[in-house]
């Protein structure tokens, strides 16, 4: 864990807040790019600083603590790393005064203390936390709601210049369109719900994009899949393709929407299940279990 302080907090749009963290050891925070997943550890209400149990089984001990003594932990994606400045950017989605992370994001100020559980550049083993694993060839389909925007934005910045494909980003408000950098062969489309339900724009857009991409590459027989009860079991399938595939898809966001996209692409369109990463980042009406 890296002990950090907030250096700056900047509102990017109605739904996005960029928090820049700094700390004495952040020059060792690994700049892995792509969808590098980390944990943000927040202080308990009315307290400063954060504390987690030590040892390899720290998570078990943390879960066993009384709630009033358990520092909240939430999962985010690294947006940018600047080791020479000992800085890490994390983009947060603002969703009202709900839950510890939502309340913290609305009130965060420079100097506030927190913790980041993330990759150490000094460790030469596998860091983990990266699920974007495309094959060397093929077209890309990246899609998600606002919670996936930071990850997809970071992925786009690391793609090779000859990458080809489509990116679909569903956000709450038309003013949530953010500047992104993508290779010339990758089309980025922003889909504002503007009061519509989650997935109301993303579901038909992914279906249309799949039809366009598969029209160029051909389709395989549809696969029978076992549906997932996202209210009971996390939806998280992140295969690593071992051979070239026509289309590699990376989909993340609200679990119910991602389940529907999984069913459409694999069971109806015949996209190879081994070439699709499905990640239910969150579930409507449910608390993040950390």
Last residue of a domain, one of 53, 82, 117: 117
Same domain membership, residue 94 and residue 157: no
- Answer yes or no: are the C-beta atoms of 87 and 110 closer than 8 Å: no
Residues of the chain with pLDDT under 70: 216-233, 285-290
Same domain, 70 and 188: no
* Pair type for strands 73-82 and 37-41: antiparallel
- How many Å apart are CA 232 and CA 218, to the nearest integer? 35
H or E stretch at 107: helix 99-107
DSSP state of 163: -
Domain assignment of residue 52, yes or no: yes
| Co-location of 29 and 164 in the same domain | no
CATH of the domain at 272: 3.40.50.80
Q: Is residue 107 part of a domain?
A: yes
- Is 124 inside any structural domain? no
Count of domains observed in the chain: 2
Mark which of 117, 148, 164 sits at the end of a domain: 117
Q: Are residues 39 and 150 in the same domain?
A: no
**Shared domain check, 217 and 168:** yes
In a shared domain, residues 164 and 260: yes
CB 227 within 8 A of CB 263: yes
> Any residues with CB less than 8 A from the CB of 196 and at least 6 apart, and which?
none
Clarify whether residues 183 and 246 are in a common domain: yes
Q: What is the pLDDT of residue 239?
A: 87
Q: Are residue 157 and residue 101 in the same domain, yes or no?
A: no
User: What is the reported pTM?
Assistant: 0.92
The residue out of 64, 82, 117 marking a domain boundary is 117
Considering the domain boundaries, does residue 232 fall inside one?
yes
Q: Considering only CA atoms, which of 74, 82, 69 is closest in space to residue 28?
A: 82
Residues 99, 150 within the same domain: no
Q: Which domain holds residue 217?
A: 139-282
Residue 91's pLDDT is 98
Does residue 266 share a domain with residue 159? yes
């Amino acid at each position: 864990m890296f002990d950090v302080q907030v250096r700056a907090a900047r509102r990017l749009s109605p739904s996005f807040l960029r928090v820049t963290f700094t700390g004495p050891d952040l020059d060792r925070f690994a700049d892995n790019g792509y969808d590098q997943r980390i944990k943000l550890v927040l202080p308990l209400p009315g307290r400063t600083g954060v504390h987690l149990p030590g040892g390899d089984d720290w998570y078990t001990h943390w879960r066993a603590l009384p709630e009033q003594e358990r520092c909240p932990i939430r999962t985010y994606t690294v947006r940018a790393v600047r080791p020479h400045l000992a800085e890490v950017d994390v983009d947060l989605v603002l969703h009202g005064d709900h839950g510890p992370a939502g309340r913290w994001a609305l009130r965060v100020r420079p100097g506030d203390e927190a913790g980041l559980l993330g990759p150490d550049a000094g460790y030469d083993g596998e860091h983990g936390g990266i699920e974007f694993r495309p094959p060397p060839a093929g077209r890309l389909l990246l899609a998600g709601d606002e919670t996936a925007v930071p990850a997809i934005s970071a992925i786009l910045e690391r793609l090779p210049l000859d990458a080809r494909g489509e990116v679909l980003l569903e956000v709450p408000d038309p003013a949530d369109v953010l500047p992104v950098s993508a290779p010339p062969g990758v089309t980025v489309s922003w889909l504002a719900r503007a009061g519509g339900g989650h997935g109301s724009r993303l579901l038909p857009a992914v279906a249309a994009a799949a039809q366009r991409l598969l029209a160029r590459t051909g389709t395989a027989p549809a696969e029978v899949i076992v549906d997932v009860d996202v209210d009971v079991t996390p939806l998280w399938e992140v295969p690593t393709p071992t051979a070239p595939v026509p289309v590699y898809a990376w989909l993340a966001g609200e679990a119910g929407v991602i389940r529907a996209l999984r069913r459409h692409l694999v069971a109806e369109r015949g996209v190879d299940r081994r070439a699709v990463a499905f990640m239910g980042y969150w579930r409507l009406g449910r608390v993040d279990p950390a």
